[in-house]
């Protein structure tokens, strides 16, 4: 029996999954430069907004040489290259607006992007793990991890709003780190039936989720709703279930038929998936359900992060242990975690109302909703414009996870 516990504890150690004690799922100190051979990619990615605004991006990409990815052997270099090609790809597809999407990705972009995606087990589209987790640097290397001392490596049109959106998301992810590193402690405490340690670790998760919400509040000072809705959101969109890109995007020189991929979404963030699985938020994954859609987004996460979520799912049930323990203060500690997650999702819904629902209402009055029709952030996968229903469903599923007094 002791051996089973030890192997179960080894299965959940975070360093096995490229998860950082200090940064959680955030890539610590991302690479910001590639060998000069890759200058054609880095010059375009680093000047994307200007190239788009001057209508020079298409010609720059079409003149790009077909580079080999062989020289990219270091993991952080591979992440930086996937990030750069992801930004160039989104810019190339959407630069003329959501109603004039490019349907073919030139092979000078498609071939290396798909090769790198295969190496990293990521899809050939800009994912959350690119533009948030690997897209940051400190302005003053000796300064603090504050938004004032952070910058992005690449950004889209939308200036400070584009940077702010990615940096606020990054700070939310960094605030999650103490909660993520508490997960192995929770699973070990359940295996050893150690109620005191379990209660402490659950309090760490609650405190971490509360600090995530504090970081989230920065959004109002760094992201402008109109610029987010009318500019940045377009570039985050994907080509899945998109009426104007039937079948998706044609990756020239890779596949003979177009392929569909979802756009970037924090639904691809491993953080909330971990807390949801740990707390048993959505037990049923019936096909076509909200939970099944969220589960499908795990294919857009780094493979090691996806595996960590699966390891939590295969571990002992925290809910069952807390229910069986019949200990009031332990049950209170569990319910505090759930309440913090409900509060975070409630706050997120308020933000979505300010940054999508209200600007969309203004656009409808301006009579150009079509412009909106093919944008897929929020993802069509959540049932088109019923993203609010999707978000409220997940919030309500979270509420239901509260353990009621027996
Ligand atoms: C301007 C700010 C934001 C807007 C307008 C927004 C909008 C949305 C929308 C429409 C969805 C559902 C559709 C989809 O998955 O694409 C969503 C999902 C989600 N968003 Fe955001 N979001 C914002 C900021 C954030 C931030 C900063 C985070 C945290 C880092 C975040 C975390 C999530 C998560 C985890 C989901 C998946 C649903 C869930 O687990 O509750 N969002 N967001
Ligand atoms: N926070 C985010 C950062 C980057 C990208 Cl690509 C998407 C999101 C997001 C937020 N909510 N849904 N997606």
Closest among 117, 84, 186, 101 to 373, alpha carbons compared: 101
**What are the angstrom distances between the C-alpha of 60 and each of 41, 73, 80?**
10, 26, 20
**Tokens encoding 33:** 């430069």
- Is the preceding omega at residue 89 within 30 degrees of 0, hence cis? no
Query: Under a CB-based contact definition with an 8 Å cutoff, are residues 347 and 391 in contact?
Result: no
Closest among 94, 173, 180, 186 to 131, alpha carbons compared: 173
Query: Under a CB-based contact definition with an 8 Å cutoff, are residues 128 and 172 in contact?
Result: no
Cα(339) to centroid(ligand 2), Å = 23
CA 217 to chain centre: 18
Query: Under a CB-based contact definition with an 8 Å cutoff, are residues 403 and 335 in contact?
Result: yes
CA 131 to chain centre: 8
CA distance 45 to 255: 24
CA distance 245 to 125: 15
Quote ipTM for the complex: 0.97
CA distance 323 to 406: 9
pLDDT reported for residue 290: 79
**Count of beta carbons in the 10 Å neighbourhood of residue 61:** 22
Q: What is the pTM of this model?
A: 0.94
Cα(71) to centroid(ligand 2), Å = 31
Cα(162) to centroid(ligand 2), Å = 11
pLDDT reported for residue 283: 64
Closest ligand, as measured to the CA of 388: 1
pLDDT reported for residue 241: 85
Q: Which residues contact 76 (CB under 8 A, 6 or more apart)?
A: 27, 30, 31
SS3 for 310-361, per residue?
A: HHHHHCCCHHHHHHHHCCHHHHHHHHHHHHHHHHHHHHHHHHHHHHHHHHHH
DSSP-derived letter for residue 229 is I
Considering Cα of 372, then 376, then 381, then 387, what sign does the dihedral take?
Answer: negative
CA distance 172 to 235: 21
**Tokens encoding 147:** 């938004």
First-residue to last-residue Cα distance in the chain: 30
Is 169 a pocket residue for ligand 2 (Cβ < 6 Å)?
yes
- Give 10-residue mean pLDDT values along the chain (406 residues): 75 88 97 98 98 95 96 97 98 91 96 98 98 98 97 96 98 98 96 97 98 98 96 93 87 97 95 96 70 88 96 95 96 98 98 93 58 49 65 93 84
CB crowding 87-124: b at 16 or more within 10 Å, else e? bbbbbbbbbeebeebbeebbbbbbbbbbbbbeebebbb
**What backbone torsions phi and psi does residue 27 show, to the nearest 5 degrees?**
-75, 115
Which residue's CA is the nearest one to ligand 1's atom 14?
378
- Residue ranges around ligand 1 (CB below 6 Å): 168-169, 172, 216, 219, 223, 228, 265-267, 269, 272, 345, 348, 351-352, 355-356, 377-379, 382, 387, 390-391, 394
pLDDT reported for residue 368: 37
Cα(39) to centroid(ligand 1), Å = 33
Cα(133) to centroid(ligand 2), Å = 11
**Count of beta carbons in the 10 Å neighbourhood of residue 386:** 12
Is 128 a pocket residue for ligand 2 (Cβ < 6 Å)?
yes
Is 265 a pocket residue for ligand 2 (Cβ < 6 Å)?
yes
Residue 24: strand, helix, or coil: strand
């Amino acid at each position: 029996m002791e051996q089973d516990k030890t192997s179960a504890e080894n299965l959940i150690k975070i360093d096995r999954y490229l998860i950082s004690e200090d940064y959680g799922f955030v890539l610590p100190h991302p690479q910001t430069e590639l060998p000069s051979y890759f200058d054609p990619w880095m010059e375009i990615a680093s000047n994307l907004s200007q190239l788009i605004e001057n209508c020079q991006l298409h010609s720059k990409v079409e003149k790009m040489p077909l580079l080999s990815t062989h020289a990219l052997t270091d993991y952080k270099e591979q992440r930086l290259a996937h990030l750069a090609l992801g930004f160039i790809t989104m810019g190339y597809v959407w630069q003329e607006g959501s109603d004039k999407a490019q349907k073919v990705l030139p092979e000078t972009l498609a071939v290396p992007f798909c090769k790198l995606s295969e190496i990293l087990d990521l899809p050939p589209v800009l994912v959350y793990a690119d533009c948030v987790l690997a897209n940051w640097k400190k302005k003053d290397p000796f300064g603090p991890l504050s938004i004032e001392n952070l910058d992005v490596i690449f950004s889209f049109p939308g200036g400070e709003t584009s940077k702010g959106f990615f940096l606020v998301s990054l700070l939310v992810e960094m605030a999650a780190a103490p909660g993520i590193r508490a997960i192995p402690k929770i699973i070990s405490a359940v295996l050893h039936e150690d109620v005191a340690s379990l209660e402490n670790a659950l309090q760490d998760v609650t405190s971490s989720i509360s600090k995530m919400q504090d970081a989230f509040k920065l959004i109002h000072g760094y992201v402008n709703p109109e610029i987010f809705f009318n500019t940045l959101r377009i570039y985050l969109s994907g080509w899945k279930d998109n009426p104007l890109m039937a079948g998706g995007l044609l990756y020239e020189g890779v596949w003979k038929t177009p392929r569909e991929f979802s756009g970037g979404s924090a639904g691809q963030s491993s953080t909330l998936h971990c807390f949801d699985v740990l707390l048993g938020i959505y037990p049923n994954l019936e096909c076509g359900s909200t939970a099944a859609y969220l589960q499908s987004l795990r294919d857009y996460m780094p493979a090691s992060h996806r595996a960590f979520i699966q390891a939590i799912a295969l571990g002992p049930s925290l809910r069952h242990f807390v229910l069986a323990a019949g200990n009031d203060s332990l049950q209170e500690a569990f319910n505090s975690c759930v309440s913090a997650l409900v509060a975070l999702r409630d706050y997120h819904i308020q933000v979505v109302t300010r940054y999508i629902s209200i600007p969309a209402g203004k656009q409808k009055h301006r009579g150009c909703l079509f412009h909106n029709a093919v944008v897929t952030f929020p993802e069509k996968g959540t049932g088109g414009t019923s993203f609010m229903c999707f978000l409220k469903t997940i919030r309500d599923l979270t509420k239901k996870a509260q353990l009621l007094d027996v």
